[in-house]
Amino acid sequence: MEVKVLKSEQINRAIADTFIELIKKNPKAVLGLATGSSPVGVYQLLVKANKEGVISFKDITTFNLDEYVGLDGSNDQSYRYFMNYNLFDHVDIDKKNTNVPSGVGDIEALAKEYDKKIAAHGGIDLQILGLGSDCHIAFNEPGTPFDSLTHVTDIAESTIKDNARFFARIEDVPTKAVTMGLRSIMNARKIVLLATGKNKAQAVYDLVKGSQDESHPGSILRDHPDCTIYVDEDAASLL
Ligand code: GLP
């Protein structure tokens, strides 16, 4: 695992370029995508590259990490809505090839199928990740087993507080989510994670230098053969 300390704009550029190089090399690549505020700048650069004709998403398949239980894609707080709004609606992707775990319907059964569906597409070539302030990745909160696959989970109290900024009231934040597991994420061939700001400093420390166990879900990434962590100076301040 490599750690790179850069300015926020440089992080977005470096990660967008990693996606652009992959898509140029393999126009049928399978991308692992994330929500949250961290990846938004990267998605803006990918939209620009698509509009300028540098890359096409025509034959690209995507799998998102997670979704809130109880919200369907028409809810503006759902992660499906977020992805349409921030990326899919602005590029030439076929929406049929975009996958976000379902937060409604028979969620347990659908979650079980999710890893099989990823495998049927040949696995994820490149996965982008953000980082929760409690060191969670996707919605794998502290205590999640390292060998977990896609599953339904409780969202930690601290994460509910962190994510409340996107909702009108904290009571509106769902308390459960469907998330790819830590093993599902580790199966990706290449991983890039970005974290910026002082409020991520402890989580970045725990990921890079804390005890490597289930109390620090992100620490599993140290065992990945091709993973780069991009942080700004604030997020790196405890390293
Ligand atoms: C949520 C998401 C994570 C994301 C995290 C950090 O909990 N499930 O995938 O990494 O928030 O979000 P942000 O990038 O907004 O700090």
pLDDT at 101: 97
Q: From ligand 1's centre to the CA of 135, what distance in Å?
A: 10
Helix (H) or strand (E) holding 56: none
| Mean pLDDT (the chain, rounded) | 97
Amino acid residing at 39? P
* Angle, vertex CA 186, rays to CA 180 and CA 188, nearest 5: 90
pLDDT at 80: 98
The phi and psi torsions of 115 (rounded to 5 degrees) equal -65, -35
> Which residues approach ligand 1 with their CB closer than 6 A?
34-38, 65-66, 130-132, 138-139, 159, 163
pLDDT band at 10; cut points 50, 70, 90: very high
Whether the full predicted model's pTM is greater than 0.95, yes or no, is: yes
In contact, 196 and 234? CB cutoff 8 Å: yes
Kindly give the number of the ligand 1 atom that is closest to the alpha carbon of 37. 15
CB proximity list for 168: less than 8 A, separation 6 or greater: none
Length of the chain: 239
Residue 219 gets which letter from DSSP?
Answer: G
The atom number, within ligand 1, closest to the CA of 200 reads 16
Residue nearest to atom 6 of ligand 1 (CA): 132
pLDDT tens for each residue of 52-89:
999 999 999 999 999 999 999 999 999 999 999 999 99
For residue 79, what pLDDT is reported? 97
Question: What is the residue-wise DSSP string for 61-99?
Answer: EEEESEEETT--TTSTTSHHHHHHHHTGGGS---GGGEE
**C-beta of residue 169 within 8 angstroms of C-beta of residue 206:** no
Q: Which of 82, 136, 161, 196 to mutate to test the pocket of ligand 1 (most atoms within 8 A of CB)?
A: 136
The residues that are catalytic are 66, 134, 136, 141
Q: What are the φ and ψ backbone dihedral angles of 169, each rounded to 5 degrees?
A: -135, 150
